[in-house]
A and B are shown apart, each in its own frame.
Chain A
Amino acid sequence: AVGLCPCRLLLLRRDGALRALRGCVRGLAAGPETHFGFQTVTEAERREKIYQVFESVAKKYDVMNDSMTLGIHRVWKDIFMHKMNPSPGTLLLDVAGGTGDIAFRFINYVRAVRERQLQQKLKRQQNLSWQEISESYREDKSKSLEDSQVVVCDINKEMLKVGKQKAQNLGYSEGLSWVLGNAEELPFDDDKFDVYTIAFGIRNVTRIDLALQEAYRVLKPGGRFLCLEFSHVSNPLLSRLYDLYSFQVIPVLGEVIAGDWKSYQYLVESIRRFPPQEELKAMIEDAGFFKVDYQNLNGGIVAIHSGFKL
């Protein structure tokens, strides 16, 4: 680690004391204290700061993801989708879905599954009579998406804007809707969705417990909760390399590519602040989910947590 210096610690403590004092006075008015990266702020401040971070990075979000992870985030999201293994007819809610990466993968996946089903069906139909074939044409008139649907929900208007634009550019139109909403208070009815996903979003939620409760509420019985998020690396060597890369390279990439050092400094700090795998698992269980489990990717840099509403 970079060497510690006593004067720095002094500044830290003095600042900390000041904050505690301010916090006492403010706490009465603005609510409980929480963290923003390595800073201590009120919950209201944190929500505001995070909103501003994503407002600022929205246009360069995808470019930055590719640069920071050297494209590996695409593999993570692909693995996530394979784990979900949705069948056609699934209703998916993708929270903090911003620029649509999960939503588009979902649509591609169910389309591919549908195509395979159709092909298999065609093979079986090779020896049917003309009557039966024309009947099956009427049945299959619906497009390959059928009634698979994904609702992309995000708290940030700018991220949704980028997502909608991407959808237009890539040609995704049906089975996709965009809703402005807060993970802690979803604008949906109870027992609505088959699958709830939140990819690289739950870290930015201020009250994770509320978001998990909301996830439970909007899922149908039998529905599945899936969370893809940065997590903790236990291997000491990997951890040191990961820290070095995170703290030395990522903010520099943020400055050079997006002109925004501070947002990416926040990003790496928020990853360190996020609960590790077991703790998150416990929180998910607390919200009422069963068969909660997690899978580490790349030694714990990223983890997929899964739970069911039974």
Chain B
Amino acid sequence: EEEEEGEEGWCYQLYPGHIPTSPLQKALLAVGSAVMALRDPYRHDMVAVLGETTGCLALPSLRDKMKHHPEGYRILQERPRIRLSTLDMTKLQGLPAGTLGREYVRFLEDNKVSPDTRMPPKFVDDEELAYVIQRYREVHDLMHTLLGMPTNMLGEVVVKWFEAVQTGLPMCVLGAVFGPVRLSTRKLQVLATELVPWAIRSGSNASCVLNFYYEQRWEQSVESLREEIGIFPPP
């Protein structure tokens, strides 16, 4: 005698970790997570929730971009995951300097981050879109590497501007616009005069970053990959 007291409940689960939510709950989550993320930018889980609850337009459009591109389509089929368990760290470290693999590992070490700390999606009500947002999160560190930006507040804001132009995710737009609130005036100046214009130019010029099978391009040099995608060299 299981009751269905006005809530979809766990029986509606579309993927592991999925929590079905009503439109009202999504709206409340979006507002709540936005407020919390602004108050404490280190609440990555809130940034993630904001992305999921506001991405209902941007995610399908990203998915379609992937579907209509041969490499993107393959990614959607094969669903690769970037995780410490799937990466061969020793091999990547052994690659020559300047290659994507070597620079990515260098980035992880320098900033003391790991690809395993990405939140799995919970509030996306479509299993394929859940993968798309997961892929976007896992590719985020690679964006840092390709853009040459560290994980401090300034670097994150720059990457957010790039991602905002690229993906159209409201969470990226909000992060890009409100992130700088916490920066000093000197940094704001650098941001406004050099970094943001470059990020926007690169973002608009580049093809969709989710359409590249990075796991098969570790040996490619960062410069050539930048050129291929359409990212201008960082200032």
* Contact yes or no, B5 A252, CB < 8 A: no
Give A8 Cβ to nearest chain B Cβ, in Å.
Answer: 6
- Who on chain A is nearest to B49 by CB? A255
Q: Which single member of B3, B24, B28, B43 contacts A38 (CB below 8 Å)? A: B3
Closest CB in chain A relative to B11 CB, distance in Å: 5
Contact call B36/A256, Cβ cutoff below 8 A: yes
Q: Which residue of A lies closest to B27 (CB)?
A: A252
Q: Is the CB of B9 within 8 A of A255?
A: no
* Size range of the chain A interface in the assembly: 20 to 34
Contact A252 to B32, CB < 8 A, known contacts A8-B12, A11-B11, A259-B45 = yes
Return A304 CB to nearest CB of chain B, in Å: 24
Given A251-B25, A253-B32, A256-B29, A261-B122 contact (CB < 8 Å): yes
Query: Is there contact, CB below 8 Å, between A38 and B22?
Result: no
B6 at the interface (CB under 8 A from A): yes
Within 8 Å CB of A237, what residues of B? none
Chain B positions near chain A (C-beta within 8 angstroms) = 2-12, 19, 22, 24-25, 28-29, 32-33, 35-36, 43, 45-46, 49, 122
Among A1, A12, A38, A255, contact of B29 (Cβ-Cβ < 8 Å): A255
Chain A binding surface SS class: helix
Contact across chains for A248 and B28 when beta carbons are under 8 A apart? yes
A1 lies within 8 A of B8 (CB):
no
Query: In the complex, how many angstroms separate the beta carbon of B88 from the nearest chain A beta carbon?
Result: 32
In the complex, the number of residue pairs spanning A and B with C-beta atoms less than 8 Å apart equals: 65
CA of A11 to CA of B12, assembled, Å: 8
A117 on the B face (CB < 8 A): no
Residues of A near B5 (CB, < 8 A) are: 1, 38, 243, 247, 269, 272
Q: How far is the CA of A72 from the CA of B12 in the complex (A)?
A: 34
Please list the residues of chain A having a beta carbon within 8 angstroms of any beta carbon in chain B. 1-2, 4, 8, 11-12, 15-16, 38-40, 243-244, 247-249, 251-253, 255-257, 259, 261-262, 265, 269, 272
- Are B6 and A243 touching (Cβ within 8 A)? yes
Closest to A260 in B: B45
A-B contact pairs, 23 of them (CB 8 A): A1-B6, A2-B7, A8-B12, A12-B11, A15-B11, A16-B2, A38-B2, A38-B5, A247-B5, A247-B6, A247-B7, A248-B24, A251-B25, A252-B29, A255-B29, A256-B35, A256-B36, A256-B49, A257-B36, A261-B122, A262-B19, A269-B5, A272-B3
CA distance A243 to B22 in the complex (A): 14
List, in ascending order, chain B residues with CB within 8 A of A272's CB. 3, 5
Given contacts A256-B33, A259-B45, A261-B19, contact A8 B8 (CB under 8 A): yes
Who on chain B is nearest to A14 by CB?
Answer: B11
